[in-house]
Every structure is written in structure tokens, then in C-alpha cells.
Chain A
């Protein structure tokens, strides 16, 4: 039976504001299938975003939805999760939102290992504001603020997440929606901070400036530049140059923040003689 997306979409909010060919839709569909797969009730899920094209997702999906300020989604999400540790909090961000303005919050959410799932739609560019360079714009590629090619080296969001302490880190692409769905579902099930980076296309703002004006071409480019982690193990750094590694890059277990805080409450209450 075909998946019933309408169950999870606010159909009265359609048509959405994303451009034709944009990869965000593929990510949102993968997220909805993943939520169904893990069996969470809509009332028990909050979807939080910052500002950007990706961050418009909350308006279209039928959950408790929160569209916050640019880069700050994880901070609002942290408050929500701490207030209701029994509920599920998903954050969806653009690469600029998560890695530039939100970079500090990103590091600390990873470090805390709080049980939130972060989905980063990496389209290499600031989509909403008109194609300016983002921390993930590859070196030498063009953006409206990098007219001669980006000078800054690109940031690897997954490597940063692993280094900062996230306990589930995966990278998928919009060329492989089913794999993406599996990574998101595993991230949702994972107890701790999960990061799923979804390599996505932005034909209008990125592709047009970098000789991939058509969505299909750009998605093919993404597919061709992803190297599954098993294959990457046998490849040299030279061979991996300009490529990105896909798959479940890091899965670990570590104390989860809200669970540990419950133990803090127990200790504090015991000290003052309160029966929990």
C-alpha cells in the first residue's frame, strides 16, 4: 500500500513555497516515513526549525511545530525536551542554520548528548537569502558572496558532530531516499543526540551558479560524489578528494542528558528528604 503522506501533511497549507526540483521535499518525505516506521503518535512529536528554506518544514507537517530564530532551533528544542523528556523532539535545519549561526549550539547539543534528532539538509548554500556561501560550500565553488569561488574550506558537518560527541551520526543523500529514511529512523530510535546530514540539491541557488542548473543533473552529481563508508575504507585520501562519505558514520552509547538529569533530581530530592 502506498504511504499516506496526507496523514502527516497540513494539506490546507499547500502549495508549499519550495522551488520545483528542490531536495527538501525528499528529506521531509523520508522523515515522515521514518516517524511512521518508529510508530510515534503525532501528538507526541515536536518538529523544530530555525530560519531558511529547510526551516519552513514545520509549517507543512502536522505535529507540534515550532519555527524559531535563525540558528537557534536546537536551543528551543533543548528547552522542550528538558520540559518533557518523555516526548520526541526533531530539529530540521539548513546547513547555514546548523553550522554557521547555530554552530555553537550544534557543538553543545552534541556534547550534551541530549535525546534530540537533528536533520541537516545540506544544499551547500544559503537558499532562502539568495545563494550566499555557507560553511559547507565546497572550496572553489561559486555563490553570490563567493563570485570568484569559495575561499573558505568547507566544513564537514558529520565529522564535527562526531568530534563534539554526538552518538549517532549518518549521512545520506536525496538521491537515495530509502536509505535516508533508514538513517532517520535509526536516529529517531537512538537514545542520545543524533545527526543525519542529508546531501541535497538547490538547483536554483547553487546549481545555476555551478553549471548544474537542472535538479536531475544535480541529484546525479550528488549520487556520484557520495562514497559508501564500506567502500571509502579502501580508498586513499586522493581518491576521496571532492567526495563525501555516506552511511552510518558513527554509532555509540553514552550517558543521555535528560536521563542523567532525572538522576540529579533524585539525588537532590533524596538530600532534602523528598519522596520522589
Chain B
């Protein structure tokens, strides 16, 4: 057991953290810059009695993790943009059927096969809206090595707690960087397991809203025989076209996420106390922004950083409050503008929102963000 600080590659740490969080099944298909997660899992999972399988494509991988999770085994898959697109139909299935799974997307450039080995942050909206139909989802975007570890553990915990797929968004910089980290002792890691039914099988309904917003989920083969479908369904899991049942079920699915924001939202603040210019940045751009804010402060500029780690749901109220007290909000992203739409929506004109966008596989570095900060004071 590694208890010392060692150099971890971001992708490898995701895999190790997943195992510590209880993941015992991984299905995947290689794609840069995510493949190291699969490679690491292929080595480590059988060592802990788990199963790794390389499937024929990303669609198959997504199906397999849903199947394994339904049998009660915590499951994960990892991919990058094009593969993430292929997973979307089954991702929607996992939302509808409320099966906990973790999907890692190590973002690369796009659209299409884009820039395979270069960083980007172009899948932010795909993470929220990629699948068809209305659905609620959780997406986390860590920025530092310790956060990668904890965000992975949290992805499993949130997926189990809310019976929802959780997307872990990394980008090529985070996936491939190396940073020192000490794996915590298992006793320091809180593990959440999905609630299991306590009622006898004949009284079990997998989608029963009288059991709360997140009804218990029995594993297959545990004596609870029930039906799971991607169709709209009644409380027993059988297909229905009854508008009242569907309305009620979809409202519960929204409520189980949007009604529990206090348990899901996650963000970090840096030097925001008296800031007059705020930067809102996530993932590797959160790192650039962090450095830019420090440099601005050294020059006497009152800058600060708000770093959402849960991108979906988005910390709306916090950003709205921030907009009340600053002169402007800058949003640097390695895309042509995605999260900035969400920031603009919640800021609602309270202050100017200025996007800083750069594509082409080159990160926005601290001097560029500093320049934008200086331009606003």
C-alpha cells in the first residue's frame, strides 16, 4: 500500500482512486488522451478481484458498465470526445433507468476527431446535454492532483447516492501531467454505497417515489426480480405512457439532483474576499487562473478566482452573489465559449462577463489571463 508521496499521472490516479472508491468493473475502448486509465485498470482490477474488459467500442463499454452496475458492482468507463459522443445514448439510458455509473471524459479538441493529443475543454456542454431528452446529471471538473483523487471518489459516491451517472471531466493537461500525491489511508476515505431495499421482494418497487427521491436499488440476482427499461416506466419499472406517472417520475428525477444541491455543489475560492475582478475557471484553466490571480495581487490588483468543481449542476447562487460585488467576471476556457453561457445566464447582467477563448491545443497561460485582468481595472 503506497503511503508515501509519489509522482502520479492524472489518468493513473483516476484509476487508483476509482479502485479505492470501490470500483470493481471497468469496460473501455482506447482513445487518446484517456487510454492510460484503461491500461492501468487492466493491470490493477484483477489484482483486487475486479474485472477489466476491452469492449469493441464505446457504445459497448457503456452498455457493459450499466449491466455490471445493475448486478451491484461499482463500474466505470473512460473515454475522450468522440467516444463520449458514442456513449451518449446509453448514458441517457443510465439516467432514465437510474443506474449509478462513472464516465470519465478526458477532453481533447474537436469537433469530430479534432486534436487527439492536445488539450481542450470542449465537452462541457456535451457533458450536460449530450444525450437526448431531458435528463439530470452530475459533472465534476477537478484541477489539481489531490482534487483529481477526491473528485474520482466523489463521483462514485454521488452516483451511488443519487442513482445517477456522474461525468468526471478531465482535460489532456490533467490526464497526462505528473504531480506528487500521497494516497490517503482507506480510513480517511468516505465510501457511499447505494441504498438497498429492506422490504420483502413482493413489496419492492425500484422507482417508488414514496421511498424518497432516490428509491433503493436491488442488485440483479439478489432475490428481487424486477424490470428495468429505458422507456418511461411506472414505479415497478414497467413501460407506461400514462402522462401523470411520467410527469411525476421526471419531476422526481429532476428533484433528486436539483433538490439536493447542498450535497452536490462543489467549488473553490481563491482570494475572492475583497476582489473587484473575478475569474471563473475550471479544470486546467483553473490552474492558469490561480497563477494569474496571484500575479495580479502581487501587482496590487484586487483579483480573485472562483473555481467551480461541480460544473453540473452549476453553483448558480454563488456566482450570482459574486456578480453583485465585482466589477467584471472573466471566463477563460480552452474552447470558443461554453461555460461562459452558464455564467452569463446566472450573472444576468449584474456585471460584465468577458470570455477569454483559445483553441488550437495551446492552453491559455497566466500572462494572458493577467493581461485580461489588467485590461478591466
A and B bind: yes
Interchain CB contact under 8 A, B225 and A62? yes
Q: How far is the CB of B227 from chain A (nearest CB, A)?
A: 5
Q: Hey, which chain A residues are within 8 Å of B70, CB to CB?
A: 66, 76, 79-80
Measured between alpha carbons, how far is A268 from B239 in the docked complex, in Å? Answer: 43
Interchain CB contact under 8 A, A66 and B228? yes
A159 at the binding interface (Cβ < 8 Å): no
Q: Hey, which chain A residues are within 8 Å of B68, CB to CB?
A: 79-80, 82-83
Q: Hey, which chain A residues are within 8 Å of B239, CB to CB?
A: 59, 67
Q: What is the 8 Å Cβ interface bit string for chain A, positions 98-124, against chain B (1 contact, 0 not)?
A: 000000110110000000000000000
Q: Which of A41-66 contact B (CB under 8 A)?
A: 42-44, 46, 48, 58-59, 62-66
Q: How far is the CB of B94 from chain A (nearest CB, A)?
A: 10
Measured between alpha carbons, how far is A75 from B27 in the docked complex, in Å? Answer: 10
B65 at the binding interface (Cβ < 8 Å): yes
Q: What is the 8 Å Cβ interface bit string for chain B, positions 213-231, against chain A (1 contact, 0 not)?
A: 0000000111101111111
Given contacts A13-B238, A59-B238, contact A84 B64 (CB under 8 A): no
Measured between alpha carbons, how far is A87 from B222 in the docked complex, in Å? Answer: 11
Q: What is the 8 Å Cβ interface bit string for chain B, positions 28-62, against chain A (1 contact, 0 not)?
A: 00000000000000010011110101011101111
Measured between alpha carbons, how far is A79 from B27 in the docked complex, in Å? Answer: 8
Given contact pairs A58-B227, A72-B59, A261-B51, enumerate 9 new A-B contacts (beta carbons under 8 Å).
A64-B226, A68-B93, A69-B93, A78-B67, A79-B69, A83-B25, A261-B46, A268-B46, A272-B47
Q: How far is the CB of A270 from chain B (nearest CB, A)?
A: 10
Closest-by-CB residue of B relative to A264 is B46
**Stretch of B71-79, B169-177, B265-273 at the chain-chain interface:** B71-79
Q: Tell me the interface secondary structure of chain A in the complex.
A: helix
Measured between alpha carbons, how far is A271 from B75 in the docked complex, in Å? Answer: 24
Measured between alpha carbons, how far is A87 from B70 in the docked complex, in Å? Answer: 13
Q: How far is the CB of A30 from chain B (nearest CB, A)?
A: 21
Number of A-B contacts (CB under 8 A): 141
Question: Which of A69, A81, A87, A264 is within 8 Å of B63, CB to CB?
Answer: A69
Q: Tell me the interface secondary structure of chain B in the complex.
A: mixed
Given contacts A65-B227, A104-B57, contact A80 B46 (CB under 8 A): no
Closest-by-CB residue of A relative to B46 is A268
Q: Hey, which chain A residues are within 8 Å of B229, CB to CB?
A: 58-59, 66-67
Q: Hey, which chain B residues are within 8 Å of A78, CB to CB?
A: 27, 53, 55, 60, 63-64, 67
Q: How far is the CB of B367 from chain A (nearest CB, A)?
A: 46
Closest-by-CB residue of A relative to B62 is A75
B89 at the binding interface (Cβ < 8 Å): yes
Q: What is the 8 Å Cβ interface bit string for chain B, positions 102-126, against chain A (1 contact, 0 not)?
A: 0000000000000000000000000
Q: Hey, which chain A residues are within 8 Å of B59, CB to CB?
A: 72, 75
Given contacts A72-B60, A79-B65, A84-B71, contact A59 B227 (CB under 8 A): yes
Q: Hey, which chain A residues are within 8 Å of B223, CB to CB?
A: 43
Q: Hey, which chain A residues are within 8 Å of B53, CB to CB?
A: 78, 82, 261
Q: Hey, which chain B residues are within 8 Å of A83, CB to CB?
A: 25, 51, 67-68, 71-73, 75
Q: Hey, which chain B residues are within 8 Å of A158, CB to CB?
A: none
Q: Hey, which chain A residues are within 8 Å of B238, CB to CB?
A: 13, 59
Q: Hey, which chain A residues are within 8 Å of B264, CB to CB?
A: none
Interchain CB contact under 8 A, B63 and A84? no
Q: Hey, which chain B residues are within 8 Å of A48, CB to CB?
A: 67
Interchain CB contact under 8 A, B90 and A72? yes
Q: List 21 A-B contacts (CB under 8 A).
A: A43-B222, A46-B221, A58-B229, A64-B226, A65-B225, A65-B226, A67-B230, A68-B63, A69-B93, A74-B63, A75-B62, A79-B63, A80-B220, A82-B51, A83-B75, A87-B221, A105-B56, A107-B56, A261-B46, A261-B51, A274-B47
A220 at the binding interface (Cβ < 8 Å): no
Interchain CB contact under 8 A, B230 and A84? no
Interchain CB contact under 8 A, A108 and B225? no
Q: How large is the interface on B (under 10, 10 to 19, 20 to 34, 35 or more residues)?
A: 35 or more
Q: How far is the CB of B19 from chain A (nearest CB, A)?
A: 13
Measured between alpha carbons, how far is A84 from B68 in the docked complex, in Å? Answer: 8
Q: How far is the CB of B66 from chain A (nearest CB, A)?
A: 6
A77 at the binding interface (Cβ < 8 Å): yes
Interchain CB contact under 8 A, B46 and A75? no
Interchain CB contact under 8 A, A76 and B47? no
B residues in contact (CB < 8 Å) with A? 25, 27, 43, 46-49, 51, 53, 55-57, 59-73, 75, 89-90, 93, 220-223, 225-231, 238-239
Measured between alpha carbons, how far is A65 from B218 in the docked complex, in Å? Answer: 13
Q: How far is the CB of A51 from chain B (nearest CB, A)?
A: 8
Q: How far is the CB of A213 from chain B (nearest CB, A)?
A: 29
Q: How far is the CB of B50 from chain A (nearest CB, A)?
A: 8
Q: Hey, which chain B residues are within 8 Å of A74, CB to CB?
A: 63
Interchain CB contact under 8 A, A84 and B49? no
Closest-by-CB residue of A relative to B61 is A75
Measured between alpha carbons, how far is A63 from B61 in the docked complex, in Å? Answer: 24
Measured between alpha carbons, how far is A104 from B60 in the docked complex, in Å? Answer: 9
Measured between alpha carbons, how far is A265 from B43 in the docked complex, in Å? Answer: 10
Q: Hey, which chain B residues are within 8 Å of A267, CB to CB?
A: 46
Q: Hey, which chain B residues are within 8 Å of A268, CB to CB?
A: 43, 46-47
Q: Hey, which chain B residues are within 8 Å of A145, CB to CB?
A: none
Q: Hey, which chain B residues are within 8 Å of A42, CB to CB?
A: 225
Interchain CB contact under 8 A, B225 and A64? yes
Closest-by-CB residue of B relative to A45 is B221
Q: Hey, which chain B residues are within 8 Å of A64, CB to CB?
A: 220-221, 225-226
Closest-by-CB residue of B relative to A272 is B47
Question: Which of B48, B64, B220, B228 is within 8 Å of A82, CB to CB?
Answer: B64
Q: Hey, which chain B residues are within 8 Å of A210, CB to CB?
A: none
Measured between alpha carbons, how far is A69 from B228 in the docked complex, in Å? Answer: 11
Q: Hey, which chain B residues are within 8 Å of A104, CB to CB?
A: 56-57, 60
